[in-house]
Structure 1
Amino acid sequence: MRMQGKRVIVTGGASGIGLASVERCLEEGASVVIADLESSDGSARAAALDARHTGRCLFKACDVTDTAQVDRLFAETESELGGVDAVFSNAGIGGIAPSDEVSDEEFLRIIDINLNGVFRVARAALRVMYRQGSGSIVNCASILGVFGQSQTAAYTAAKGGVVNMTRALAIEAAPKGVRVNAIGPGYIDTPLLAELDDELLQGLIGLHPLGRLGRSEEVANAFLFLASNEASFVTGAHLMVDGGFTAGKS
């Protein structure tokens, strides 16, 4: 039970990678807060998981673009659970469009959720963790945090920012007992990708030397490692979970 007694917050925790991470942490003994939009399935997901892991899963509505909501999430979690030991800053959105067609509003929206939102969560987490003298923050970056891709200017800018912000936060937080790392997922098999035509899907698969897409639980396992005491000497890292995508081309 690698997370026995740990108190964990997962933003964007109602689906996909976030939900898989919630489930893995519960299996390993943690108490977990699913933080997601009010309109998400988070409340129902938390109720179902709490029935299986009695008293260890709850839902809190949170929009990471709203500082007041983020601060309230951490204040309530600290009050109810007694602290916060690990955070997976996973809330995010995609965005594909030719750069000459992207509006200011759409560009800023992607940045606000994927980059500014990660900072808001980290800032609130650090305030709690500094009081404790311990904690682990894991930010969800991307392969596009280190590689460029056409028609994703806002997304790649945000994820590149997350990678380097993670390093800066790690250096700053280390003397106070807090570790900060990032995960860089490759293309993960989700319902969204299932909607792609077979030719495009096979093209995406071919970008990964392991010859397949990733699974949500494989990213969740990386979070579990970085959040746990097993990674006690790991900070400032960007752990790629990408099937070899960023290793190069054969």
Structure 2
Amino acid sequence: MELKDKVAIITGASSGIGERTALLFAKEGAQLVLTDIDTEKGEKLVESIKNEGGKAVFLKADVSLPEASEETVKLAIKTFGKLDIAVNNAGISGAAAPVGEYDPQEWDKVVRINLSGVFYGMRYQIPAMLENGGGSIINVASILGSVGFAYSAAYVAAKHGVLGLTKTAALEYSAKGIRVNSTGPAFIKTPMIQDLDKDVLEQVVAKHAIGRLGKADEVAQLHLWLASQRSSFATGAYYPIDGGILHNKLLQPFVFVVASISKLLQYGCV
């Protein structure tokens, strides 16, 4: 049990990568504080973890609000006495539109959740970890944290910002015992991605050198490595888990109708 007696916060934990990360961490002995805006799914996940002998609590929290991150950390300390690990995973896709037509309100919403939400999380996670002698923070970015993608300005900008924020925090706190890293999932298979048109889905799969979509469990395994002592010398780094898509020179012409792009971001890419 690699995370035995460790206390972890996971945001956006009710489904997808957040859910699979929570289940794996619980299996490895972690005590969990899980947050999301979907209370029903979050509470069901906690119940499932407890039924398997794990320890977890759920808090409905909007990461775009700094007070929500503060409350989450306080709950971890109150319930489990410390904080060792944080996976800042919560995010949204936002609208799909060219830059010259992008709705400013939609821009603000995406940036508040996908970038400011990560900052707010670390703002309160770091002091708690310092009191505990250190920890590991994992910020979930995307392959779109390192490349551009048409019609997705807010999402791409926010995820690029997550990488910069991660590197800066690592420089500031690694010598104090807090490692900070980011992950870059590509398109991940979920039940909802089946809503995509067959031809669009085939194009998505074809862009991955490995010949298939990723699995949420595979991303969770990367998060486990970063949370554990096996990655004790890793900090300030960005870890794409992308099936080789970033090496595909045809990624940039990878453009569909606006509706399809929106679905891809919402269902297949964190």
Taking structure 2 as the reference length, what is the TM-score of the superposition?
Answer: 0.89
In 2: Cα distance, 1:38 partner to 1:188 partner: 20
- SS for the counterpart of 1:58 is strand
Supply the distance in 2 between the matched residues of 1:151 and 1:249 (Cα, whole angstroms).
19
Deviation at 1:39, TM superposition (A): 4.1
Please say if residues 50 and 58 of structure 1, whose CA atoms lie closer than 8 Å, have aligned partners that are also in contact.
no
Give the Cα separation in 2 of the matches to 1:192 and 1:234. Answer: 34
Cα shift at 1:248 = 3.6
Structure 1 residue 50, shift from structure 2 partner: 1.1
Q: Which residue pairs with 2:115 in the alignment?
A: 115
1:214 aligns with 2:206: no
Q: Which residue of 1 is the match for residue 41 of structure 2? A: 41
Secondary structure of the equivalent of 2:69? Answer: helix
Aligned with 2:188: secondary structure? coil
Unaligned stretches of 5+ in structure 1?
none
Looking at structure 1, the residues matched to 80 and 118 of structure 2 have their Cα atoms a distance apart, in angstroms, of: 22
Amino acid at match of 1:131: E
Taking the TM superposition and a 5 Å limit, the aligned residue runs for 1:49-198 are: 49-54=49-54, 56-95=55-94, 96-198=96-198
Shift of 1:69: 1.5
Tell whether the 8 Å contact from 1:91 to 1:114 is kept in structure 2 after alignment. Answer: yes
Contact 2:182-2:238 at 8 Å conserved across structures: yes
Cα contact 2:33–2:72 (8 A) shared by 1: no
Instruction: Give distance in 1, aligned partners of 2:123 and 2:207.
Output: 35
Shift in CA distance, 40/66, structure 1 to aligned 2, threshold 3 Å:
farther
Which residue identity does 2:86 align to in structure 1?
V
Q: What percent identity do the matched residue pairs reach? A: 37
| Residue of structure 1 equivalent to 2:264 | none
Give the counterpart letter for 2:82 in structure 1: G
Equivalent residue number for residue 247 of structure 2: 247
CA deviations 1:186-231 (Å, max 9, x no partner) are 0001133211001000111111100000000011000000011110
- SS of the residue corresponding to residue 63 of structure 1 reads coil
Moved over 3 A (4+): none
Structure 1 residues 11-46: Cα deviation after superposition (integer angstroms, max 9, x where no partner): 000100000000000111111121111545101221
Gaps of 5+ in 2: 251-270
- In the TM superposition, residue 48 of structure 1 has moved relative to its aligned partner by 2.2
- Report the TM-score, using the length of structure 1 for normalisation: 0.96
**Cα distance in structure 1, aligned partners of 2:206 and 2:52:** 38
Matched residue SS, 2:97 = coil
Matched-pair contact (CA < 8 Å) for 1:25–1:224: yes
The CA RMSD measured in Å over matched residues stands at: 1.3
What secondary structure sits across from 2:137 in the alignment? strand
CA distance in 2, matches of 1:65, 1:170: 22
Deviates more, 1:152-161 or 1:73-82: 73-82
Contact kept in structure 1, 2:14 and 2:38, CA below 8 Å? no
Could you say what secondary structure the match of 1:84 adopts?
coil
- Cα distance in 2 for residues equivalent to 1:50 and 1:66: 28
Q: Is the 8 A contact 1:136 1:179 kept in 2?
A: yes
Aligned 8 A contact 1:189 1:213 in 2: yes
SS of corresponding position for 1:41: helix
How many residues are matched? 249
